Amino acid sequence: MRSDASPSAVAARSTGRAATGERPLSGALTEVGLDDGRTVVVKVADGPDAARAEAAGLRWLADAGTVRIPAVHGVDGRRLVSGRVAQGPADARAAQRFGRDLAALHAAGAPAFGAAPPGGPEEAYIGLAPMRNVTGQDWPRWYAAHRVLPYLRRAVDAGTVRAAEADVVERLCERLPELAGPAEPPARLHGDLWNGNVLWGADGHVHLIDPAAHGGHRETDLAMLALFGCPHLDRILAGYQEAAPLADGWTDRVGVHQLFPLLVHAVLFGRGYAEQALMAARTALRRLE
């Protein structure tokens, strides 16, 4: 398929239906109507393999048969064609149901920490930042080596984190086995579960978009939800706990799991997030004193 084809042409070829019109939603997103009454979204991804990684993640999450995930219709180079979610208001009952469904998604599991979705590339993305899916069987060591320290190094190289400040994050990584809580099997993570990727559907269900899916610790997804806020988070957590209770002390570990997205945001968006990451590391270390 030609990389310069219009969103309508991309959507038509991916779905086998004629396009009836298109409407830009943002610089990267275009809504395309089809002649069978459906509407799809054509997304232009930033990285060379980002669309393939996202498509593989969406399919892997959908295969669990738990949380609602938009259908993937096709990938054309950097463009992904997926179903559109008709949105409605945030609802407490939907939130509690989502908590139970998210627990079931995590329980679907992954072959290892860092495992990429089937068909997904090792060199993936979280938002605009590269993210390598390198596997490991020990969560604390894997999380330090492949989720925290790579972004710390990038932040230091960019001057967002000062070299003298990096020590607190490095010390936290050394002590992660003491901070990680009971060992858990790899969970099937959305991987970028902030509020913007949680869509409240008109059908009364929560739908998830834009994953950075991989095998990880289930508390990481929940910590991401808490980091940037989410409507009815208390009901989401109640539904989750009802279906799959979290290990004792999980609230004390939230900052440890938020360190990864905070450092990603420090790399992408600057010093404010670096300061939050440093504070999270200091707070976690103080619990060991």
DSSP for 106-160, please give it.
Answer: HHT--SSBTPPPTT--SEEEETTEEEE---BS-HHHHHIIIIIHHHHHHHHHTTS
Helix (H), strand (E) at residue 105: helix 92-107
User: 192 catalytic, yes or no?
Assistant: yes
Place of tokens 């042409």: 9
**Catalytic residue among 192, 210, 248, 252, which?**
192
Task: Give CA separation, 129 vs 148, 151, 202, 219, 266, in Å.
Answer: 13, 9, 31, 21, 11
Length of the chain: 289
Task: Give CA separation, 79 vs 44, 258, 268, 272, 276, in Å.
Answer: 5, 30, 22, 32, 34
Task: Give CA separation, 279 vs 40, 169, 172, 176, in Å.
Answer: 42, 10, 11, 16
Q: Where are the beta strands (DSSP E) in 113-173?
A: 123-126, 129-132
d(CA 217, CA 246): 11
Closest listed residue to residue 268, CA positions, set 170, 91, 131, 64: 131
d(CA 86, CA 164): 48
Strand partners, 34: 19
Structure tokens at 85: 């979610």
Question: How far is CA 19 from its chain centroid?
Answer: 30
Active site residues: 192
